[in-house]
Amino acid sequence: MEKTNIAIVGLGTVGSGVARLLLDHGDRTARHAGRTMWLRKAVVRDIEKAKQRMTLPDGVLTDSLDDVINDEEITVVAQLIGGLEPARTIMLKLMESGKDIVTANKALLAEHGPELFDRARQLGRSIAFEASVAGGIPIIANISQCLSANQLQSLEGILNGTSNFIVSQMDEKGSDYADVVAEAQRLGYAEADPTMDVDGTDAAQKLAILAHLAFGATINWNDIPRIGIDGLDPADLRYARELGYRIKLLAVANLTEAGLELSVAPTLLKIGTPLAEVRNAFNAIRAVGDAVGPVFYHGLGAGQMPTASAVVADLIDTAVGRTKLTFQTLEYFCGENPPRAIQRDAASLKGRFYLRLLVANHPGTLGAIANVLSDHSISIASVIQHETDTSESTDRMVPLVIMTHEATEGAASEATNKLEGLSVVSGSVVRLRVKD
């Protein structure tokens, strides 16, 4: 049987999962690849630390990247180190020495995709990156190949498992954001510094990659308007539920007549719809194509073995030769492809909105607020104002929640500013988008 020699660079959580699949399930990978998938080298920074993590066959573990670069028999490398540098330089070196790459590093691709993919094309190499988005859900292959007969019209995704875990727990237990983050860190669902996960950066980077595949748009992830879940108040989760919705950190790419609308934001989703019911560390994506209609994918978005599953599928595809064909054909991140216009005029986008205000509990308040909305052509779909204890002074401020009918983002934004200027409204208005 033919043999493909493989190296892993970086033996962290995912890397050791990949090593385990290759070492423990050689029969399985050989059956799917039609050849032996042989782990020849695993490059780590600290050999002693790696030995504590897992036992590898003699001669596999090394701390020298040159052991891979100078070994012509190694043709495919799973590069599984995070961050931008030295990951970028290592990837370039590996490709220059003739290796095809499999990676899970979405930040690197979101930041340096065009450079790395151009270089790969020049060198006749390929980069596979299924594991970079949505872990165990094979969304890259599905968009690039399986749905290739379609013009995709929209992608909506829950792409960050940490945020979804936090929001699910806040929703189910009514806990505060800070308490749930502490619990998520204890359980290993959130990093010591979870900023990139909870502020929407990670979801925006993944969305930039998916939107490129689906719409040919070359997007700087940093240009995607994004709001994280770090400012989310449990009160909004409660009111949303009362209205029949859950709040999720939703990444959206939507093809409109004006161009491609992109956003990452906490969004109200109707209870019972598939995206609203995605719990804890799961991810999900709903794609709509003009031929296939809606297709929904749900699976584990992170974790050692789901991510390793995606990496090993890519290693097999690369060894079989499918990756090279796809890579050559699709010209990922090729500067010569005319990028699709990105919708930058957010003001004209339409949607429904959830507003929460702190208002004076006296006659005329609701009228004043309704007038502002009406002035901006925003009509009210539903209102929640709970009765307050009548023994308390009517001077007390009380929460008021309004769900609007469809309105433009511009009108909603202007109306929000006006509402914040009213004397009957205290502090700032919480405004969230709603998807039915």
Active-site residue list: 206
CA 237 to chain CA mean position, Å: 21
Exposed/middle/buried for residue 100 (C-beta within 10 Å: 0-12, 13-18, 19+): buried
Using CB under 8 A as the criterion, which residues of the chain lie in contact with its own copies when the complex forms?
17, 21, 25, 28-29, 31-34, 130, 136-138, 141-142, 145-151, 216, 272, 274, 277, 289-300, 303, 305-306, 308-313, 316-317, 320-322, 325-326, 328-330
* Least distance CB 108 / its own copies (angstroms): 22
The DSSP output letter for 131 is: G
Q: In the structure encoding, which two tokens stand for residue 34, read together? A: 């039609």
- The CA distance from 201 to 208, in Å, is 10
**Tokens 């998916």 correspond to what residue?**
210
* Least distance CB 159 / its own copies (angstroms): 15
- Nearer Cβ to its own copies (139/265): 139
Supply φ then ψ for residue 250, to 5 degrees: -105, 130
- Nearer Cβ to its own copies (326/404): 326
Burial 196-222 (b: 16+ CB within 10 A, else e): bbbbbbbbbbbbbbbbbbbbbbbbebe
- Nearer Cβ to its own copies (141/412): 141
- Nearer Cβ to its own copies (288/411): 288
- Nearer Cβ to its own copies (132/365): 132
Residues 6+ apart with CB under 8 A from 85: none
* Least distance CB 219 / its own copies (angstroms): 18
* Element at 266 (helix H, strand E): strand 259-270
In the Cβ-directed half-sphere of 313, how many Cα atoms lie within 13 Å? Answer: 18
CB distance 167 to 176 below 8 Å: no
Q: In the structure encoding, which two tokens stand for residue 378, read together? A: 């925003």
CB distance 43 to 63 below 8 Å: yes
**Nearest CA to 358 among 391, 385, 390?**
385
CB distance 422 to 369 below 8 Å: yes
* Least distance CB 143 / its own copies (angstroms): 10
- Report CA-CA distances (Å) from 83 to 107, 169, 228: 7, 29, 21
- Nearer Cβ to its own copies (112/248): 248
- Nearer Cβ to its own copies (309/416): 309
Amino acid at 388: T
- The CA distance from 164 to 390, in Å, is 38
**Nearest CA to 22 among 1, 2, 36?**
36
